[in-house]
Homo-oligomer: A and B are copies of this chain.
Amino acid sequence: MFQTLSAKAAIQLDQELMSTGAFSIDQLMELAGLAVAQAVYKEYPPVTINDKVLILVGPGNNGGDGLVAARHLKLWNGYEPVVFYPKKTAKPLYTNLMTQLKHLGVSEVTELTEVKNLLSSGQVKLIIDSLFGFSFKPPIRAPFDDLIKYLCVNHDKIAPIASVDIPSGWDVSDGPVGKDMDIKPSMLISLTAPKPCAVIAHTQGVTHYLGGRFINGQIAAKYHIEELIAKYKGNDMVVKL
A residues sitting closer than 8 Å to B (CB atoms) are 20-24, 26-27, 30-31, 34, 37-38, 41, 45-46, 72, 74-76, 93, 95-97, 99-100, 103-105, 213-216, 218-219, 234-235
| A/B interface sample: 29 pairs, CB < 8 A | A20-B99, A20-B103, A21-B99, A21-B100, A21-B103, A22-B96, A22-B97, A22-B99, A23-B96, A23-B100, A24-B26, A24-B93, A26-B27, A27-B27, A30-B30, A30-B31, A31-B34, A37-B235, A41-B234, A41-B235, A46-B234, A72-B235, A74-B216, A75-B213, A75-B214, A76-B235, A104-B216, A104-B219, A105-B216
Task: List residues of chain B with CB within 8 A of the CB of A20.
Answer: 99, 103
Contact B213 A96 (CB under 8 A): no
Cα distance A43–B157 when bound, in Å?
46
The 7 lowest CB-CB distance pairs between A and B, nearest first, are A22-B99, A26-B26, A22-B96, A41-B235, A21-B103, A30-B30, A76-B235
- Asked if residues B103 and A22 are in contact (CB atoms below 8 Å), the reply is yes
Residues from chain B with Cβ under 8 Å of A22 in the complex: 95-97, 99-100, 103
Chain A: interface secondary structure? helix
Which chain B residue shows the least CB distance to A96? B22
**Cα distance A27–B37 in the bound complex, in angstroms:** 16
Chain B residue nearest to A45 in the complex (CB): B234
**Residues in chain B near residue A37, CB distance under 8 A:** 235
